[in-house]
Amino acid sequence: MMKEGPGFSTATFAGGCFWCTESDFAKHAGIVKVVSGYTGGHKAHPSYEEVLTGRTGHVEAVQITYDERKISYEQLLDIFWRHVDPTDTGGQFVDRGAQYRTAIFYHDERQKQSAERSKQALDRSERFDKPVLTDILPLQAFYPAESYHQEYYKKSPLRYMFYRSNSGRDQFLRSVWQKKAR
Which residues carry out catalysis? 17
CA separation for the pair 77, 147 (Å, rounded): 26
- Specify whether the CB–CB gap between 90 and 45 falls below 8 A: no
DSSP code per residue over 5-72: STTEEEEEEEESSHHHHHHHHHTSTTEEEEEEEEESSSSSS--HHHHHTT-S--EEEEEEEEETTT--
Positive or negative, the CA dihedral 71, 29, 82, 51 is: negative
